[in-house]
Amino acid sequence: MGEVRLVTLDLLKEDPEVLAYIDGGNAHLGAMGFTDHGQRHAGLVAAIAGNVLERLGFPEREQELAAIAGFLHDIGNVVSRYFHAQTGAAIAERLLASRGMDPKEIATVIGAIGSHDPEDSATAVSAVSAALILADKSDVHRSRVRNQDIHNFDVHDRVNYAATRSFLKVDPAAKTICLQLTVDTAISPVMEYFEIFLTRMLACKRAAEFLEAQFELDINNVRLL
């Protein structure tokens, strides 16, 4: 093992090797007709995951680890959509170790990445992992849809396109983590949202419980969970 160096989100965001893999994974998913999983999604999930731990009073470096896990979590799509959580964890291990990150920190980051998917079994294994699951599953937004033809939208496109606003509100005093969505019901009925996102919401519920908080879902100012 070489010298231990402090690896930060800012460094990774400017790292050509990291960005090439994120872009490559996003291109593969694009070819399969999936919504955006590129630098926009990576950056947003990084910011939200870090924020969740900040709001709940976790140490700064742990917030940073959540942000790093958030930025790298979908990198495994460069290999394949299938098992992308596990391949992504292996790729992240190599990237972070070769940049000198403390192995204890790497352990936390790759455990979170490896546990963020599949949706129906995503179970938080640490605070960083819980923050990552909540951040990833709450990125539902119009800007993620790549299909240009509204008539060819599948249900995922429709639900994402209908979401004009999404915000994960963490209330440390009330111990609640609320996903607030604004959904255009002319495009997608709220029912469709549930059809797709029920498993995600259950993963969020488990993740929030790991952080000793309660998960809430609010669509168009109506509390649904």
Question: Which spans of this chain sit near Fe ion (rule: CB under 5 A)?
Answer: 74, 117, 136
CB of 37 to Fe ion, least distance (A): 6
Helix pair 39-55, 127-137: axis angle to 10 deg: 130
Report DSSP letters for 62-127, one per residue. Answer: HHHHHHHHHHHTTGGGGT-STTHHHHHHHHHHHHHHHTT--HHHHHHHHHHHHTS-SGGG----SH
Residue 15: its H or E element: none
CB of 137 to Fe ion, least distance (A): 8
CB of 20 to Fe ion, least distance (A): 18
Nearest CA to 178 out of 212, 205, 210 is that of 205
Q: Could you tell me the sign of the dihedral formed by the alpha carbons of 187, 156, 26, 179, in that order?
A: positive
Token pair of 139, please? 């990125």
Nearer to Fe ion (CB atom), residue 69 or residue 208:
69
The C-alpha atoms of residue 126 and residue 20 are separated, in whole angstroms, by 28
Nearer to Fe ion (CB atom), residue 4 or residue 198:
198
CB of 3 to Fe ion, least distance (A): 32
Nearer to Fe ion (CB atom), residue 105 or residue 117:
117
CB of 84 to Fe ion, least distance (A): 6
Nearer to Fe ion (CB atom), residue 74 or residue 216:
74
CB of 78 to Fe ion, least distance (A): 12
Nearer to Fe ion (CB atom), residue 199 or residue 214:
199
Contact present, 84 and 77 (Cβ < 8 Å)? yes
Nearer to Fe ion (CB atom), residue 62 or residue 136:
136
Close Cβ partners of 219 (under 8 Å, ≥ 6 residues apart): 181, 182, 183, 190, 193
